[in-house]
Amino acid sequence: MSKAPQRLPKNEDAQQQSTPQPKPKKEAAQFDLASYSFDALLGLKKEIDAEVEARKTKEIEVLRAKVTQSAQTLGLSVHELFGLPAQNGKRVTRHPRGTQPAKYRGPGGEEWSGRGPAPRWMKPLLAKGKTKEDFLIRQ
């Protein structure tokens, strides 16, 4: 049974002409999957999955090269093109890192910045009815 070739819309027609595609074989191989054993089907699926993944990786590499080349033509980096933060080796954070000043002080002189879960020394005191404000360091 022969199918007539489908007509693509104008913009896809032009795109297809600019990107060379491999010509389809005259007769596609017909598979009677019902005649395959379960193990044979699993093997076939693994082969197909591996081929799909390999082609996907190749397509991604080609696309990255095209985008990089287009960005360079415009005098931009890929990060500028997509509005990503510049990669200078350091992450940009909105808050300072490192030790924070103590906000709470326990009866034994223990200190806690107030970030993260309540410390061990505070939990039993909170259970006895104290509040965090009781341990607040007044400035």
Res 16: pLDDT: 47
The whole-angstrom separation of Cα 69 and Cα 62 is: 11
Render each residue's pLDDT in the chain as its tens digit; 139 residues.
445 555 555 554 444 445 556 666 666 677 788 999 999 999 999 999 999 999 999 999 999 999 999 989 999 888 888 887 766 656 666 666 778 888 999 999 999 999 889 899 999 999 999 999 999 988 7
Taking the CB of residue 135, how many other CB atoms lie within 10 A of it?
A: 20
Show the 3-state SS of the chain: CCCCCCCCCHHHHHHHHHCCCCCCCCCCCCCCHHHCCHHHHHHHHHHHHHHHHHHHHHHHHHHHHHHHHHHHHCCCCHHHHHCCCCCCCCCCCCCCCCCCCCCEECCCCCEECCCCCCCCCHHHHHHCCCCHHHHECCC
Tokens in use for 27?
């007769």
Where along the chain do its domains lie? Answer: 35-87, 104-135
- What is the rounded CA–CA span in Å between residue 102 and residue 66? 52
